[in-house]
Amino acid sequence: MKVMILSGRFGFGHEMAANAIREEFERQDSSTEIVQKDLLAYFYPHISRLIYKVFSLVAERCHGVYNLVYRMSERMNAEIRQGGSMLYFKFKKMMEDEAPDLIVCTHPICVKAAAFYKLKTGSQVPLVSCITDTTIHMGWVADQADAYLVPTPEMKEYLVRMGTWADVYVTGIPVRQQFLERGTAIKKQETPGMKRVLVMGGGLGIMPGLEELIDSLHRMPDVHTTVITGKNQALCQKWSGRYEDVEVLGYVGNIGTYIGRSDLVITKAGGITMFELIHSQVPMFIIHPFLEQEIMNARYAMGRGFARVIWNRDEDFVRELEGLLSDSEMLKGMQECMVKAKREMIETSLDDAVKEMSRKAYRYEASSGFYMPDCFSGSYQMQAGLGGSGRI
């Protein structure tokens, strides 16, 4: 069996979800051949870095423009044909070279590219769209998709109302194995009365107001802070060693360990981050979300009760944060909301979802390139039992 996972580095969340899916396939069957590609880098190998750099600059510094483009793209039917025949033939060549038995996409551009390829060629290779935000963007949706991995039950209901024939699995956003430790739990290194706070900035840079935030946390009694700056080494060097109660780190591979030891995580409202925290059952504190997807994720998290969100820039986030850290019962209540959210939001484990995807791939492989949808295979009960769309 050969699985091709397509993504893009527009923020780290899409790539992290792709990594999580790859890890689960490898955990279940080490003989599975996995091909993981950045589709933009494949299409534009010489300028993809520049494209990503421009994207990051627009998202960080011109987020009004970014949000406008995001909202406009919601109303566009922007498929790969918009990029001309060259991109189609590049995708077609990739498919001929790799000959996968399954395509999994963790970015909407990849979904549209794979869907157009299937439409144009009549290919029956199973296509899975893995949605990485808590509200749906139509770029994720395609008639040629055979399955969706969606973050929330509300999104499944939306797709079913749209009349999709694909299977829909409510998996949450896939997270890496370090957040899915089976049978083990990370124990907090507790000091009586001490609160441990983790500050993370996300893949597109640290959140606004970092200097004021760190100074404020330093002044709060009985608070130990860890700041993870990711690949921003300049920021790491600037803050390292300034305060004895503030630990500053660059990129860390075992981020799950640091999250698991925390009582509260101050972070951007990225979809992948939110589900890493849900699996770790650690509450969120979100300051001034400004990208469209992050605003929607923050609203969802706040509505579920496991996040405190500071919306307005003139709002005193220091007072709110200090009040939360001094109220153990409130933190406990937010953690209980995390437990409830995980139970209600995730109907199908990533383990079971990958088993279902593998089953589709094996059936396609065994049928010499012709994939028979499950609605014709008598597997309705299996699909419904695992949180599928219940199609007949």
Question: Phi-psi region for residue 362, left (φ > 0), alpha (ψ -120 to 50) or beta?
Answer: alpha
pLDDT of residue 134: 83
Looking at 180-194, 199-213, 291-305, which range is the least confident one? 180-194
Q: What pTM, to 2 d.p., does this model score? A: 0.82
DSSP H/E element including 307: strand 307-310
Contacting residues for 137 by C-beta, under 8 A, at least 6 apart: 70, 73, 74, 108
* R_g (Cα) of the chain, nearest Å: 22
Does residue 178 sit in helix, strand or coil?
Answer: helix
Place of tokens 């279902």: 356
The overall average pLDDT reported for the chain is 81
Residue, of 361 and 207, whose pLDDT is higher: 361
Residue, of 85 and 34, whose pLDDT is higher: 34
pLDDT of residue 109: 86
pLDDT digits (tens, 9 = 90+) for 83-99: 457 788 889 999 999 99
Q: What is the mean pLDDT of residues 309-324?
A: 87
Q: What is the mean pLDDT of residues 212-225?
A: 90
Structure token pair of residue 13 = 């969340």
- End-to-end Cα distance, the chain: 27
pLDDT at 101 over 90: yes
Cβ neighbours, 10 Å, residue 341: 24
Q: Are 106 and 21 in contact (CB under 8 A)?
A: yes
pLDDT digits (tens, 9 = 90+) for 264-312: 999 988 888 899 999 999 999 998 887 778 888 999 999 999 999 999 8
Does residue 198 sit in helix, strand or coil?
Answer: strand
The per-residue b/e assignment along 202-221, b for 16 or more CB within 10 angstroms, e otherwise, is: bbbbbbeebeebbebbeebe
How many angstroms separate the CA atoms of 168 and 172, rounded? 12
Contacting residues for 390 by C-beta, under 8 A, at least 6 apart: 160, 380, 383, 384
Task: Give the side-chain half-sphere CA count within 13 A for 299.
Answer: 10
Residue, of 208 and 248, whose pLDDT is higher: 248
Provide the β-strand partners of residue 38.
Answer: 7
DSSP H/E element including 102: strand 102-105
Looking at 218-222, 253-257, 308-312, which range is the least confident one? 253-257
Strands (E), 110-208: 127-130, 147-150, 167-170, 195-200
Q: What is the mean pLDDT of residues 339-362?
A: 92
Q: Are 148 and 357 in contact (CB under 8 A)?
A: no
Residue, of 42 and 129, whose pLDDT is higher: 129
Contacting residues for 154 by C-beta, under 8 A, at least 6 apart: none
pLDDT digits (tens, 9 = 90+) for 154-165: 999 999 998 999
